[in-house]
Structure 1
Amino acid sequence: MQSPRLALAFILITVTLDAIGIGLIFPVMPELILEVTGRTLSEAAVWGGLLSASFAVMQFLFGPTIGSLSDRFGRRPILLGSLVIMSATYLAMALAPTITILLAARIVAGIVSATYATASAFIADVTPPEDRGKRFALIGAGFGIGFVLGPAMGGLLAGLDIRAPFYGAALMAVLNLCLGSLILPETVTDATRRPFSLARANPLGAFRAVAHLPGLRRPLLVFLILGIAMNVYPAVWAFYGHAQFGWGAGMVGASLALYGISFAVGQVALVGPAIRKLGEHRTAFWGIWVDIVTLAVFGFLTSPLGALVVIPITALGGVVTPALQSILSRGTPADAQGELQGLLASLNAIAMIVSPLVMTAAFRAFTHEGALLHLPGAPFLLASALMVAALLLHVGRRRAA
């Protein structure tokens, strides 16, 4: 096997390029949906929620399957195979003349979008348990850097053509595939390879298997609630920026780039020191508090300058996910790390199913013509309330322990 350092470097490059490809399309989704549906902005937001939910349903159904397949056949073939199909789905979205084609492409993309879960299992393969929180944070930093470049590039490409960012995303996926084909090592060995089990390769079977491990049920539930709350950003941010501040695709891209910079810096500079000083549980506790406060602020914020000031502060809450991942990875056997990450992908998929539908519905309820109260920030207030519930669960786990 090649060195763990080389493996880590490749995974970070892979995650960053993947995030660039995803981030490219965010700023133009509202305008593209308006183009292919001919509906109003509030109705387009609901279609945006359905597209996100369909992607997430497939992730939920197939996440543990992909994770279990990577435990059996290795990380390399799963990563490379998913990139081949992902590049094709971006091309399909670039050429889509109707909302039906967009929906079909998102469904296929949801099935094969195994990059994050498989990359996380890769990290667990090559990292001692005590260092996994810091390494998981590096994956988050890679996503952050990708979302700096992706939305900014998407906003610029949208100036050429509204569909140009999808061609850019396809190109990024192909470049990622070429890079992986050249330098991706395999980290699953005969000692950690596990036979594929259909009973465990589904969301319910995987949840039963992992949740029965000591002390993991509450962190799994906190992870799920965190995902539902924090998916408010991809679900409604472009629509919220348009309605609250009058932002177009360029400004939405710039605001997402600012978030990506802040998030990447936070992951690299904060997570490792925070876990060393506070421990995984207290790091998650204080990160949840940051999320509660910043989400509530966005609920009532009316100043575009104020939004740009608050965005970097939200990055402090990014310590929660790697801290929870580290807690869960420590409690999971070495031959089930892929299954765990597949399960986490399924839980995140549940969040991506529930959050876009709920958050876009909340947005529509408070922005449509005739609404009793015009409050585009209502979804962020709902997300803040969910984070309060996550905090109570997390504190309850510590007391039980």
Structure 2
Amino acid sequence: MQRWKINLTVLWFGNFLVMAGMTMITPFLSLYLKQDLGLTNEHEIGVWAGLIFAANFVTSFLFQPIWGKLSDRYGRKIMLLRSGFGMAIVMAAMGFAQTPLHMLLLRMANGIISGFSPAAVSLVSAGTPKERMGFAMGTLQSGGTAGVILGPFLGGLMADSFGFRPIFYITGSLLFIASVLSWIMVRENFDRSAAAKAPEVSIVKGLRELLDIPQIPVLLTVTLLIQFAMLSPMALIPLYVEKLNVPPETLGFWSGFVGSVTAMSNMICSPLLGRLGDKIGATRILLISLLGSAVMFVPQAFVGTVGELLVWRFMLGCFMGGLIPTVNALLRKYTPDGKESRAFGFNGSALSLGNMLGPVIGGALSGPFGIQGLFILSAALLFATGVWYYFTMAKARPS
């Protein structure tokens, strides 16, 4: 097997383990605060759960460019291992937390040292033939998406069987296994002597150099807007499912299924759209995916049953499979050699910012617009992003 395919296979599995481990705590975080960390007031639990959930994204947003810069200078594999082993230790330590403040600080630490997925994207992109870039990015994305699907399910299952604290130890073990596999099996073609001779560039100057390339700021903005639009209604979907006359005893199942079905179709379509992008062009695939996602959001505001919602959420996931992986493929295409990790680091920051702002602003807008209104707003934002992307990339295209 060719080296780039071996790396892709190992990092697909690593990405799966990392994302499964990171999302295992989602179903029981508030229960962990209540039953193990001593909180009793519901409002207090809600505030702490929100802070703890957001803390990871805040510090990740700040530190991703730093790790991207160091990755270009010292190698992508070492940054991959730094993140993997570091997160394994921090995640296991969460099982020993005694107060909500301990959890908050550990989640902040996790965000600081995180970066396995951006490092994996950078490493795969550096070794993959350019004519197979779309397929590689889509395949790698599908591994993370599979982890997102199964993580909450496995976390909930283990919480019922073992209690909450052992899940953090299991998650840390999964992250450790992913890191060991990457350490042993992944190979990187990186010229450290040439990188050491390259002039030292500050993070701000590095960002300015990237922003001077016309396509890069467009792609970073598209990443931010995609995540914002996708996550704005996400936290309120269980309430929306409840309005669709679902029996109370099955509300949890259907709410989880509605969230998972989008990830399922995303996982299936990411490699397929990536391979199609290699044939007809990633720019076209991204435009089709943006406009298709916008169209799929609209009927979700008018469904009458949970079955109808599942159909449209599944279709949405099909188009979502061509969003972030295609952005990554285009970033690699337009970023000069030796600066790829920095570009993916800034893109990781844009992703984290969208993850932070989407649920917060979506929750605030749900008052005046309602949950149905959030679907329409997400559709409008994605459509506007697609139109803006088309015209700005057309202007940026060299004559």
The TM-score bracket by the shorter chain reads 0.7 to 0.9
Offset of residue 69 of structure 1? 1.2
CA distance in 2, matches of 1:20, 1:233: 22
Partner of 2:296: 294
CA distance in 1, matches of 2:227, 2:198: 28
Residue identity over aligned pairs, in percent, reads: 23
Distance 1:240 1:97 in 2: 35
User: Contact between 2:127 and 2:188, CA under 8 Å: does it hold in 1?
Assistant: no
In the alignment, which residue of structure 2 is the partner of 1:283? Answer: 285
**Whole-angstrom CA distance in 2 between matches of 1:40 and 1:197:** 54
Q: Secondary structure at the match of 1:288?
A: helix
1:11-160 alignment to 2 at 5 Å? 11-32=11-32, 37-40=39-42, 47-160=48-161
Q: Give the Å deviation of 1:361.
A: 3.2
Compare relative contact order (CA 8 Å, sep 6+) and give the higher one, 1 or 2.
Answer: 1
Could you say if the C-alpha distance between residues 305 and 347 of structure 1 is closer, same or farther in structure 2, counting changes exceeding 3 Å? Answer: same
Partner secondary structure for residue 19 of structure 2: helix
CA apart distance, 1:92: 3.4
- Give the equivalent residue in structure 1 for 2:225: 225
Q: 2:263 aligns with which of 247, 260, 265?
A: 260
- Work out whether residues 84 and 178 of structure 2, in 8 Å CA contact, stay in contact via their aligned partners in 1: yes
Per mean C-alpha deviation after superposition, the further-off stretch among 110-119 and 208-217 is: 208-217
Pick one of 359, 382, 385 that aligns with 2:377.
Answer: 382
Q: How does 1:128-277 map to 2 (within 5 A)?
A: 128-160=129-161, 161-190=163-192, 193=195, 199-201=201-203, 204-232=204-232, 235-237=235-237, 250-277=253-280
Instruction: Give secondary structure in 2 for the equivalent of 1:319.
Output: coil
Query: Following the alignment from structure 1 to structure 2, what is the Cα–Cα distance between the partners of residues 380 and 194?
Result: 49
Give the whole-Å Cα distance in 2 for the aligned partners of 1:195 and 1:362: 51
> Once the 2 structures are TM-superposed, how far is the Cα of residue 286 of structure 1 from its aligned partner?
1.5
Aligned equivalent of 2:325, options 295, 314, 322: 322
Mark the CA change 1:378 to 1:229 in structure 2 (over 3 Å): closer, same or farther.
same
Aligned to 1:361: 364
Candidates 373, 377, 391, aligned match of 1:396: 391
Long gaps (5+) in structure 2: none
Flag the 1:39–1:242 CA change in 2: closer, same or farther, 3 A: farther
**SS of the counterpart of 1:396?**
helix
Contact 2:233/2:374 (CA < 8 Å) preserved in 1?
Answer: no
Shift in Å at residue 274 of structure 1? 4.5
Residues 167-195 of structure 1 deviation map (CA, whole Å, 9 limit, x = unaligned): 33222112212222322323322476356
The partner residue of 2:346 within 333, 343, 348 is: 343
SS of residue in 1 equivalent to 2:335? coil
Q: State the shift of 1:24 in Å.
A: 1.7
TM-score by length of 1: 0.85
Alpha carbons of 1:329 and 1:399: their partners in 2 closer, same or farther (altered >3 Å)? same
Whether contact under 8 Å (1:284, 1:320) holds in the other structure is: yes
Contact kept, 8 Å, 1:30 with 1:239, in 2: the verdict is no
Residue type matched to 2:271 in 1? V
Q: Which whole-Å deviations, capped at 9, do the CAs of 1:105-146 have from their partners, x for residues lacking one?
A: 211111111111101110121012232222111111111222
**Contact 1:192–1:334 (8 Å) recurs in 2:** no
- Residue deviations 1:33-62 (CA, integer Å, cap 9, x gap): 565543448x76665443343222211211
Question: SS of the residue aligned with 2:189?
Answer: coil
Is the contact made by 1:46 and 1:361 (CA closer than 8 Å) also made in structure 2?
no
1:312 matched residue in structure 2: 314
CA contact (8 A) 1:301 1:307 kept: yes
Amino acid at match of 1:354: L
Q: Secondary structure at the match of 1:159?
A: helix
* 1:349 to partner: Cα distance: 1.8
Output the CA distance in 2 between the equivalents of 1:76 and 1:234. Answer: 33
Q: Which deviates more, 181-190 or 137-146?
A: 181-190
